[in-house]
Amino acid sequence: MTLRVLIADDHDMVRDTFSMYLETSGTAQTITAGSLDEALKLMQQKGPFDLVLLDYTMPGMKGLEGLKAALAISGGNPVGMISGTGTRLIAQQALDLGAAGFLPKSMPAKTLMNAVRFMAMGEVYAPIDFMSGRDDPEETDFEKDLSEREKQVLRGLMKAQSNKEIGLDLELQEVTIKLHVKTLCRKIGAKNRTDAAIIARDAGFV
Is 177 in the same domain as 115? no
Judge whether 139 lies within some domain: no
Judge whether 73 lies within some domain: yes
Q: Quick one: pLDDT at residue 146?
A: 83
Is 118 in the same domain as 22? yes
Is 118 in the same domain as 189? no
Sign of CA dihedral 150, 151, 152, 154: positive
Is 50 in the same domain as 74? yes
Residues of the chain with pLDDT below 70 are: 1, 85-86, 128-141, 206
Q: Quick one: pLDDT at residue 135?
A: 46
Q: Quick one: pLDDT at residue 202?
A: 73
Is 100 in the same domain as 190? no
The reply to whether the predicted model has a pTM over 0.85 is no
Task: Compute CA 49 distance to the chain's CA centroid, rounded to the nearest angstrom.
Answer: 19
Judge whether 50 lies within some domain: yes
Q: Quick one: pLDDT at residue 131?
A: 67
Domain boundary among 79, 100, 131: 131
Backbone angles phi, psi at 168, to 5 degrees: -65, -40
Q: Quick one: pLDDT at residue 133?
A: 57
In terms of residue numbers, what domain contains 179? 145-202
Q: What is the CATH number of the domain that holds 155?
A: 1.10.10.10
Q: What is the CATH number of the domain that holds 36?
A: 3.40.50.2300
Is 124 in the same domain as 173? no
Question: Is the Cβ–Cβ distance between 44 and 52 less than 8 Å?
Answer: no
Is 115 in the same domain as 169? no
